[in-house]
Amino acid sequence: MIVHAHTDLLRMLFTLRGSVVKRIAVRCLMVTLLAALIVLVERHYPAFFYPVSATPFTLLGLSLSIFMSFRNTACYDRWWEGRKAWGRMIIEVRSFVRESAVIDDSTQRARLLRSLCAFAHGLNARLRNEDDLHAATPWLPKDADISAHNVCDGILRDLGERCSRLASEGRISEFRYMTLEQRLVGLSEVQATCERIKGTPLPFPYTLLLHRTIYIFCLLLPFALAEPLGWLAPLFTTIVSYTFLGLDAIGNELEDPFGRDENDLPTDSLVRLLERDVLSALGEPLPPLLEPVEHVLS
């Protein structure tokens, strides 16, 4: 996620960090060159050039803007829902830490709390298509029997079984067991929410129709601008293509908020925050908070 301090206008205009310019530069350049070629033909070979009215492009541009607004709003909603899910994880973990204070066995409590860190690391890796078992292992006890099929769910099952065993042995009350179980249910819901976002992209026909329409619009626009604007047509074509192609690229990036793109959610930083909360409750040394690297918080 991009973390920028308040910058001046000049820096905001020319910064590339977090911008989609690098992803669409080649396409914008191709559209600009096409526009320049069309203007050249119109100026030197007017007999081969048929002027096109700008009216259809006005209507098409308006419709395209509305459609892109719908898609980008849907993509941002996915990004924001993912952030809310991770925010809920922080709430559930902190609540579990607080409610587990009644467990008199410090070793058993440490095992439970460190498993919460394992869950956060495992879910973070799972959402990024990485090895979730490898990410969770440093926080798991050596005798933990966690299935590699669904590491995060296995961790929650192990936590639930241990809390149930504490209740059956009379080491925590039935009420306290129920409250701890509710926290585990909340973490399970967080996992399901994140997996739903990760595994259910926007319907493909929406993306396909939008991509086709954007390219058709940008490739045909120079025909309408060549005659009235002359050599200014490539400039305005570039501005329009940058806007539409840029919005399309932003939507693609926000559709999956759990990756490692510059504008994705800073899940590494959130996991580190949970580590510090757990280790603080256990009285262990705290690792430093993750800081932005060149304005990017991972």
Q: What are the residue ranges spanned by the domains of the chain?
A: 85-201+267-287
Do residues 103 and 109 make contact, with C-beta atoms less than 8 angstroms apart? yes
3-class SS at 148?
coil
End-to-end alpha carbon distance in the chain: 6
Q: Using CB atoms within 10 A of its CB, is residue 261 exposed (0-12), middle (13-18) or buried (19+)?
A: middle
| Sequence-separated (6 or more) residues with CB below 8 Å from residue 256 | 78, 197, 198, 201, 264
CA angle 252, 256, 259 (to 5 degrees): 110
| Residue 104: Cβ within 10 Å count | 9
Task: Give the torsion sign (CA, 288, 294, 297, 298).
Answer: negative
For residues 140 and 7, what is the distance between their CA atoms, to the nearest angstrom? 43
Half-sphere exposure of 176 (CA within 13 A, CB side): 17
For residues 157 and 77, what is the distance between their CA atoms, to the nearest angstrom? 30
pLDDT for position 269: 93
CA angle 54, 59, 60 (to 5 degrees): 95
3-class SS at 128?
coil
**pLDDT averaged per 10 residues in sequence order, the chain, 298 residues:** 64 66 87 90 77 78 84 91 95 94 89 94 93 90 77 91 90 91 96 94 85 88 85 89 88 88 88 93 89 75
pLDDT for position 9: 61
